[in-house]
Amino acid sequence: MFKLGINTSRNISIVFKRTMSSQEPDILTETLNNAGVLTLNRPKALNSLNESMVTKILAQLREWEKSKTMVIVKGAGDRAFCAGGDVKVAIDKVKGPQFFYPEYNCNYLIGKYKIPYIALIDGITMGGGMGVSVHGRYRVATERTVIAMPETRIGLFPDVGGSYFLPRLQVNLGLYLGLTGDRLKGKDVVKSGIATHFVSSSRLYELETLLSRCTNDVEISALLNKFNEPPEEFTLAPNIKHINYCFAASTVEEIIERLEKVNNDWSQKTIQTLHEMCPGSLKITLRALQRGAQLSLAHCLRMEYRVACWSTRHHDFPEGVRALLIDKDNNPRWTHKSVREVDDDYVEQFFKKLPQDQELKFFDEDSKL
């Protein structure tokens, strides 16, 4: 830990590996009055998470839980809170599980955090960025917020606790978002239930300063409510009844059939989107969300860890990353040409238990964390 004394009121600690590199540290930590403030500091990479970051975040959150009144988490720059995880590393059969392990432990810790956890989700918040925000007690969106879980496009599934929080959103909205990867912006993020408050980005510095002076959760909640701006009509409102009907279906095939029955501009666009996604991922995602609706966060994360680990060993996830993020030819060659070719046996192999010594354990179960 290397400390820089900036001034008497803000003691900033920068966490980094001691190397000769002049590279910016990927995590900044700061004590501001009663708050621990953690900044994801990879603005050029839209603050996307890597193994180094999630390991540091986990350690810092555990320390602050015992010593601070609250934790405030934000992203550096004005473009993103966190655009996701480093999927180029995640597709590695060895490095992938090493990345998911501390990341899912972070998600679990945030979900059970004993002190108020406040995520300022200003800007792009996708994938792994949802994992380090949505499980917290408070999530503050701005007019720049854009959220999505786009994993089915790259041959994966909505992880980082997606199987827990998505099926708990209103009127099957979570199943719609998880399967299509559709984006929500600004006040829609509050209307969906993913964010708890909406505050203009120009007021975030003031909000952060005043929050840090709060001494308990009652004061924090009252202050957030004071800053909160009233919601507007949900942009998906005209199609909420269709989302509820179509995504209540028990199979992806039936979802598409119901969308065909609705037959409006929205449903036709949604069908087209689903056809662009990895067929296997659509089936796996629906199965995970259906099961996750009945599970605790801990059980969801254990299930997701199995699916994620098996995904690194199968064709579609590495192929999706290659086609969309590495070669960028946007022409993934999926294992299946359509969802009708994806049978239950194929889906279930992703949910198999791992060898006992490879299963996900949480820090309070494993002395090594």
Is 180 among the domain residues? Answer: yes
Active-site choice (84, 85, 129, 155): 85
Q: Per residue of the chain (369 residues), what is the pLDDT tens digit?
A: 222 323 323 444 434 333 334 578 999 999 999 999 999 999 999 999 999 999 999 999 999 999 999 999 999 999 999 999 988 888 988 889 999 999 999 999 999 999 999 999 999 999 999 999 999 999 999 999 999 999 999 999 999 999 999 999 999 999 999 999 999 999 999 999 999 999 999 999 999 999 999 999 999 999 999 999 998 999 999 999 999 999 999 999 999 999 999 999 999 999 999 999 999 999 999 999 999 999 999 999 999 999 999 999 999 999 999 999 999 999 999 999 999 999 999 999 999 999 999 999 998 765 444
Count the neighbouring beta carbons within 10 Å of the beta carbon of residue 72.
24
Is 361 among the domain residues? Answer: no
**Distance from CA of residue 99 to its chain's centroid?**
14
- What is the enclosing helix (H) or strand (E) of 139? strand 138-141
Report DSSP letters for 61-76, one per residue.
HHHHHTT-SEEEEEES
Is 79 among the domain residues? Answer: yes
Instruction: Give the number of domains in the chain.
Output: 1
Active-site choice (122, 151, 188, 319): 151
Is 365 among the domain residues? Answer: no
Show the domain range for 297.
2-356
Closest of 127, 125, 121 to residue 103, by C-alpha: 127
CA angle 266, 80, 231 (to 5 degrees): 55
Answer yes or no: 155 catalytic: no
Is 232 among the domain residues? Answer: yes
| Residue 163 CA: distances (Å) to CA of 6, 131, 304, 305 | 42, 11, 8, 11
Active-site choice (36, 127, 128, 178): 128
Q: Which CATH number do you get for residue 280?
A: 3.90.226.10
Active-site choice (30, 86, 122, 159): 159
Answer yes or no: 128 catalytic: yes
**Distance from CA of residue 98 to its chain's centroid?**
18
Is 367 among the domain residues? Answer: no
